[in-house]
Structure 1
Amino acid sequence: MKSEVLDTIMIKSPIGTIQVLNSKVGVREISLDQEYTNNKSIIDLDYGDTDVTVICHDGPHHESSKATIKWLQMFFSKKRELFKLQTLPPIDNQLVEKDNFTGRVLRTLANDISCGTTISYAGLAGLCGNHKACRAVGQAMRSNPLPLLIPCHRVVTSSGAAGPYMRGNGDNIKKWLIEFERQF
């Protein structure tokens, strides 16, 4: 049985406000700011200000919340050598934990695709044991409850094009994330 959601954290980041839902056990869900998709000029393409700060916190500040905040701060820092040593914060999400193809895709993506690299939908399908399951990988990306932690922005088309992000509502965020990771 899952523990109840204990807190909600709103975090200011270079790609907009990130909402994080945490339980006592770990991070349950991450939502990215849709407004940054509609206003492409908001994103800092010079990668200048990469500060991450908590702007609102509702609920007890649990250890799982602290771990998630620290991970996000390291992700957006320009100290890539430190980030690469960083382990994922605890995760408390049924979809990720399920023993099915979607769960396997999400866990493989989180654990095996390094920061600064990309993989095609077909490549990820192959890593998960079914190289013909490209569409199923796409479906898993659409249902990803933990963007950034489970880096679906690193999954690209076979031609190398970025492809859709956040159901097509965050394509500029995906491109920013890919380029940002390649910078450091």
Structure 2
Amino acid sequence: MANMAARLHQKIAKKNNTSDCKQMTAALQSPIGTIQVSGCEEGIHSVQLQESFVPEDRTRVASFTCEVCESQEEMTEPVKYCMTWLQAYFSEPWTTDELPRPVFHHPVFQQATFTCTVLMNLLSDVKFGEMASYKQLATLAGNSKAVRAVGGAMRKNPVPILVPCHRVICSNGQIGNYMGGRGNHLKQWLLTHEKLLKESRKTSRRLRPMLPHS
């Protein structure tokens, strides 16, 4: 029985091992700097933001275009789709809740851990333009006292923006840290970006003239 359990463990470990994946990295020039996306044929492994980049103040309603800095022919299909998803996020971000999320293939999503549970709850429950506290996420994950562990899960998030850890704030309303505190300015930009365009979307719907009945 012990030998059988050991073999089963090895089989699962081999299945979840992503170290042998042939990854490809592409870059997207965005309003918050260069975003690097790495992925294999199975899915996305990481999204890296440019911590030192200081974006322009996000104080008015505007959408943005983004330029892919790699040849489309060199990308894996998941990386291609991820680029398309990120471009939509900056140009028409409210549409991203209706788009299929890029498939993830980072090890953190291959194991039934507290970190994975928190990240997947964040992905499914906190939508564009919304925010949640660390405590709320801890409660969703089944342990309302695990606030520090939720903070640790946010730091371990390998795919920021895709899994929107920028939407997680402190219970007192402070935005909290992002990327270990090095990217707080990016977090504020992303939150403002979503807030402005969500409010603009609501206003345009209210002001849309009613068509006469035919």
Normalising to structure 1: TM-score of the pair?
A: 0.90
1:173 matched to 2:186: yes
Pick the aligned partner of 1:67 from 81, 105, 114.
81
Q: Judge which range, 134-143 or 94-103, deviates more.
A: 94-103
Where do 1:10-29 residues align within 5 Å? 10-29=27-46
Deviation, structure 1 residue 48? 3.9
Give distance in 2, aligned partners of 1:7 and 1:148.
19
Q: Secondary structure of 1:17's match?
A: strand
Deviation, structure 1 residue 63? 1.2
Aligned twin of 2:142? 129
Q: Which runs of 5+ in 1 are unaligned?
A: none
Where do 1:82-97 residues align within 5 Å? 82-97=95-110
Deviation, structure 1 residue 131? 0.6
1:161 matched to 2:174: yes
Aligned twin of 2:127? 114
Give distance in 2, aligned partners of 1:139 and 1:58.
35
Give distance in 1, aligned partners of 2:48 and 2:93.
24
Deviation, structure 1 residue 4? 1.2
Q: Deviations over 1:106-147 (max 9, x none)?
A: 111112110100000000000111111000000000111110
Aligned twin of 1:7? 24
Give distance in 2, aligned partners of 1:57 and 1:130.
45
Give distance in 1, aligned partners of 2:180 and 2:35.
17
Aligned twin of 1:147? 160
Relative to structure 1, is the Cα distance of residues 57 and 19 closer, same or farther in structure 2, using a 3 angstrom cutoff?
Answer: farther
Q: Secondary structure of 2:85's match?
A: helix
- Taking only the aligned residue pairs, the percentage that are identical comes to 36
Give distance in 2, aligned partners of 1:117 and 1:104.
19
Where do 1:47-62 residues align within 5 Å? 48=62, 50-56=64-70, 60-62=74-76
Normalising to structure 2: TM-score of the pair?
A: 0.78
Give distance in 2, aligned partners of 1:107 and 1:134.
16
Q: Which amino acid aligns with 1:130?
A: N
Give distance in 1, aligned partners of 2:93 and 2:149.
34
Q: Deviations over 1:72-101 (max 9, x none)?
A: 011111362x32211211111111232010
8 Å Cα contact 2:63-2:91 kept in structure 1: no
Deviation, structure 1 residue 148? 0.5
Aligned residue pairs, count: 179
Q: Judge which range, 4-13 or 124-133, deviates more.
A: 4-13
Aligned twin of 2:14? none
Which protein is richer in helix relative to its size? 2
Q: Which amino acid aligns with 1:9?
A: A
Give distance in 2, aligned partners of 1:125 and 1:97.
20
